[in-house]
Amino acid sequence: MSKDTKNKGGRPTKYKQEYCQLLLDHMEQGLSYETFCAVIGVSKQTLYDWEKANPEFLDAKREAFAKCLLFYEKAGHAGMLGKITGFNATTWIFNMKNRFNWRDKQEVEQTGNFTVVIAKEDKDL
């Protein structure tokens, strides 16, 4: 048996190169990466496996996340300008923090010297 015809074992992949564009189309509507698996009928783990095995799919994922972020930033901008009736800023902020790891900026100012005290159990003293 030649190297090219050797059976690698396991189930054949359901991956198709057209999934790259479908993923882009899906996420530019503001939909999540994980829900793409429901659209094409595979598990989330399959998507993660495809990223590792198909560099073009990983590239599509990265681009799709940027398109998804753009979708939500445009929505937030429009909402902030009063162009979306009933826009809920709290829901938008919650979405951005969870979906894109946005955080509130917290500034901490430290002055002077300090000592860190670590409590030990009595037996260690």
Cα–Cα distance between 73 and 66 in angstroms, integer?
A: 10
Give the model's pLDDT for residue 7: 43
Q: Containing domain of residue 28, as a range?
A: 13-99
Asked whether residue 25 is domain-assigned, the answer is: yes
Cα–Cα distance between 68 and 96 in angstroms, integer?
A: 11
Task: Answer yes or no: is pLDDT of 115 > 70.
Answer: no
Asked whether residue 57 is domain-assigned, the answer is: yes
Count how many domains the chain has: 1
User: Please, are residues 71 and 30 in contact by the beta-carbon 8 Å criterion?
Assistant: yes
Asked whether residue 44 is domain-assigned, the answer is: yes
DSSP letters along 16-68, please? Answer: -TTHHHHHHHHHTTT--TTTHHHHHT--HHHHHHHHHH-HHHHHHHHHHHHHH
Asked whether residue 78 is domain-assigned, the answer is: yes
Asked whether residue 108 is domain-assigned, the answer is: no
> Can you tell me the mean pLDDT for 41-45?
97
pTM greater than 0.95 (yes/no) = no
